[in-house]
């Protein structure tokens, strides 16, 4: 029975889907460090994680049985994708499932910070009645600046406009502006325009340190900064200085450079205790609805890859959409993308009398993926011959 290891308290639907597909599923609530993960992956075919567990090249190198990794979140920067691809390990994430949840918390924080609700709430709990309009504003008529105009940024753009906000955005890639949103040609242009700046960039290494003292200084006096993207994007010390000095009127931070591995672990940050600053424990996409949707989406991707070889939406392997056909014997062959691989595969199959009923080839960078359907069982000698080819990375026989 194939084995799946699910870490970091994934939604129960994930386990149910994989168990129904015939997997022996082991679940753990917390993240694992590298040495713990290496030990835990012995005999494991599927690994499911969220954002805390770092799947390093060293861990992948020693996971001989691992076939696929599921990131039950948007980001995949916690996984060495190149190392996984080089071992023929397909990696999947959930690029859309929690979009609405992140957008909703962003809207809530925009309103909360602009109305200074955090300060009023704290004073009321301290027994202080401070009915005042000073520093509190409507969001209608104010400008929202979105850095990173992807799935989350675009949906946030639409909802913010419905609240009466003007929207400007900046993205290094060409993106279609939705509604009345306006593209800014430079990051500085956006920072000098927006009353609220919100970050929704991805986890690529080039975004590390994207937002520091220089960028914060460019923001309008009294503006608000929000980071619901990656912890390493914003310099927390620079943000603290801007709040303490009064240059920024508030901030919301959901992600941090260093985060506790497990629920209940202590949390330290220089942003604690600051006025009109909302700190949340990386829960931007953590609603029951989003977690259930993520659990179903990624578990289905893992299940389908094992059963059919389909790599649709894989983040590190060539994408091939496949269905399962009764009576078909499928060879799923991951290889180095070099000339002559397809010819070599077909020559080997012909030598052993294997009739090809269907075949697909896709490439992605240095990796190629050939899926061949045969009308009869494939002899072990064919598998051995294909696996021994210099270009071979991983061959799976699916019946």
The residues annotated with a catalytic role in the active site are: 230, 259, 282
How many CB atoms are closer than 10 A to CB 282? 18
- The per-residue b/e assignment along 108-122, b for 16 or more CB within 10 angstroms, e otherwise, is ebbebbbbbbbbbee
Distance CA 232, CA 225 (A): 15
The residue length of the chain stands at 399
């Amino acid at each position: 029975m194939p084995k799946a290891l699910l870490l970091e308290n994934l939604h129960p639907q994930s386990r149910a889907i994989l168990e129904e597909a015939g997997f022996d599923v082991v679940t753990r609530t917390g993240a694992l460090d590298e040495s713990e993960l290496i030990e835990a992956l012995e005999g494991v075919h599927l690994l499911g994680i969220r954002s805390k567990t770092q799947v390093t090249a060293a861990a992948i190198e020693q996971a001989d049985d691992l076939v696929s990794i599921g990131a039950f979140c948007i980001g995949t920067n916690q996984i060495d994708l190149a190392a996984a691809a080089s071992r023929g390990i397909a990696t999947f994430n959930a690029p859309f499932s929690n979009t609405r949840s992140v957008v909703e918390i962003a809207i809530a924080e925009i309103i909360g910070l602009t109305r200074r609700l955090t300060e009023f709430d704290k004073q009321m709990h301290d027994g202080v009645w401070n009915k005042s309009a000073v520093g509190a504003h409507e969001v209608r008529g104010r400008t929202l600046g979105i850095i990173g105009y992807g799935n989350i940024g675009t949906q946030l753009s639409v909802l913010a406009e419905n609240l009466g906000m003007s929207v400007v955005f900046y993205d290094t890639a060409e993106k279609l502006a939705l509604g009345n949103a306006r593209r800014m040609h430079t990051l500085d242009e956006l920072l000098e325009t927006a009353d609220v700046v919100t970050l929704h960039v991805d986890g690529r290494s080039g975004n590390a340190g994207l937002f520091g003292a220089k960028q914060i200084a460019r923001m309008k006096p009294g503006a608000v900064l929000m980071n619901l993207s990656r912890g390493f994007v914003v310099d927390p010390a620079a943000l603290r200085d801007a709040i303490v000095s009064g240059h920024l009127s508030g901030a919301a931070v959901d992600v941090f450079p260093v985060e506790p591995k497990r629920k209940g672990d202590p949390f330290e940050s220089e942003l604690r205790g600051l006025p009109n600053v909302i700190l949340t424990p990386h829960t931007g996409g953590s609603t029951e609805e989003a977690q259930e949707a993520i659990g179903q989406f990624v578990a289905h991707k893992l299940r389908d890859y094992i059963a059919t070889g389909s790599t649709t939406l894989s983040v590190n392997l060539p994408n091939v959409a496949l269905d399962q056909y009764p009576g078909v014997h499928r060879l799923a062959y991951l290889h180095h993308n070099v000339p002559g691989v397809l010819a070599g595969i077909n020559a080997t199959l012909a030598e052993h009398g294997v009739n090809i009923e269907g075949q697909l080839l896709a490439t992605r960078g240095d990796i190629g993926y050939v899926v061949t359907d045969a009308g009869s069982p494939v002899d072990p000698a064919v598998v051995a011959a294909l696996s021994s080819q210099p270009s071979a990375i991983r061959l799976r026989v699916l019946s």
